[in-house]
Amino acid sequence: MARPREFDTDVAVTQAMHLFREHGYRATSMPRLTARLGIGSGSLYAAFDSKDGLYARALERYCDGLVAALRRDIQNGPDIRTALYGLLITMVDADAADPERSCLLISATTERSAHEGTTEQVRTAMEKVETVLTSALHAARDRGEIRDDHCPEELARFLTTFIQGLRVMGRARAGREFLESAVAGALRALD
């Protein structure tokens, strides 16, 4: 008879997500994971099969949170420009406040590009981001906030790509003035 699990896997995934975000996949060793989670390696393997299994769950949690926050922020704005500006400037501010804090999606893309499961998770997350933005841009066009000749799908792809670039430049400490200028340029795509 197997022993009952003595830790909360949901809490463990959240803690691992923060650890992977802080240090990346490679630098997050098994001893570092087990110390942060307060469990033995046997318990980690029993619950998640491997470090890769735990990473996949942590990345999924991160991506789900990212998409939910995007959806909330886009829907809460009075119009598409205000909503997008608020979203993008919030990212700039977050990166300026804590430049060591990494976007787990960016680090997954760069650090684990050869890992098929990770690239599939990243691709799926980007498709969800694009879907949220496309829907918001269609609604904005219907409300007359952007011109009828704008293609919401193309704008959403541009913005999805821009968001990732903005995160990379924030991590590179590009500076607030530079990033604000980039945000202003990106928003001109809606003109």
Q: So what's the pLDDT on residue 186?
A: 96
What value, to the nearest 5°, has the Cα angle with vertex 150 and ends 147 and 156?
125
pLDDT at 30 exceeding the cut of 70 = yes
pLDDT in tens, 108-119: 998 998 999 999
What's 160-172 look like in SS3?
A: HHHHHHHHHHHHC
pLDDT at 102 exceeding the cut of 90 = no
Averaged pLDDT score across all residues of the chain: 91
pLDDT at 3 exceeding the cut of 90 = no
pLDDT in tens, 117-149: 999 999 999 999 999 999 999 999 999 999 999
Average pLDDT score over residue span 72-100: 89
- For the structural domain made of 59-190, what CATH number should be given? 1.10.357.10
Q: So what's the pLDDT on residue 5?
A: 52
Domain ranges of the chain: 59-190
Average pLDDT score over residue span 35-53: 90
